[in-house]
Structure 1
Amino acid sequence: MSVRPPSNLGNASVSEVLFDALGHEILAEKASALGRAGERAATCLARLRAHDGADGQRPATDSRRRELLKDAAEAVYAFFIQRELCGLRRHDAVIRELGIPREVLARLGAK
């Protein structure tokens, strides 16, 4: 849905209503994008965990694991960027909730 104000807008109250509708639509899209990014990050992290298995064995030469690690890092990075665009600057709670491994965070430049 797109909202375009009329060209002969003379009434301030109408423009405020249109602005609120547009602002509401923008916020809804931000929230939707944040949800999609979070789902993608959770999915990539789950794939990485499933590949590692219950015992957590990680062969150093496993190319599939390197690919999954790269995908997880990219998804988490995109999720963090989307969170910051929504004004959410602290990621500590999300890191704990999703159980993001240090190995993934290290690829993002975190220590």
Structure 2
Amino acid sequence: MSLRMPRDLARLSRAGQFDGALSNFEAEALSESASSLGYQGRKVEKALAALAIALPEAREAALAEAGEAVWAYFVQRELCGLRDHRLIIREMGIPPEVLTRLGAAPKAAR
């Protein structure tokens, strides 16, 4: 989703009459992006923790959940302009078996 400044606000900003509003809008948008990124990161941590303790019969479901959480996190990072995921993969300890599932639809959804 892309955000577009309201027309009246854009006109006033170009005229130099309302410079503070643009920075307030940008600050609010950045705050929302950071909040969403943090939320997605916590979902990944929770999914990876569940995967680590998953019993063999529940491992496939835990892998699917972790793959979906990591995929959503990577998408959110890319929306924030963070396109290199190598450090995050290493720091969060995302296993290769999760990375191979990124973007894959679960069997039930096919």
TM-score, length basis structure 1: 0.77
Identity across matched positions, percent: 45
Counterpart of 2:70 in structure 1 is 76
- RMSD across aligned positions (CA): 2.4
| Number of aligned residue pairs | 97
Match of 2:59 among 59, 65, 77: 65
Task: Structure 2: state its 5+ residue gaps.
Answer: 1-5, 104-110
Asked if 1:99 is matched to 2:105, the reply is no
TM-score, length basis structure 2: 0.77
Which has the greater radius of gyration? 1
Distance of 1:17 and 1:100 partners within structure 2: 42
Shift of 1:9: 4.5
Task: Structure 1: state its 5+ residue gaps.
Answer: 53-58
Higher relative contact order (CA 8 A, sep 6+): 1
Shift of 1:108: 1.7
Please list the CA deviations of residues 48-100 of structure 1 after superposition, one character each: whole Å capped at 9, or x if unmatched: 00125xxxxxx4xx2x2111110000000000000000000000010011110
Counterpart of 1:27 in structure 2 is 30
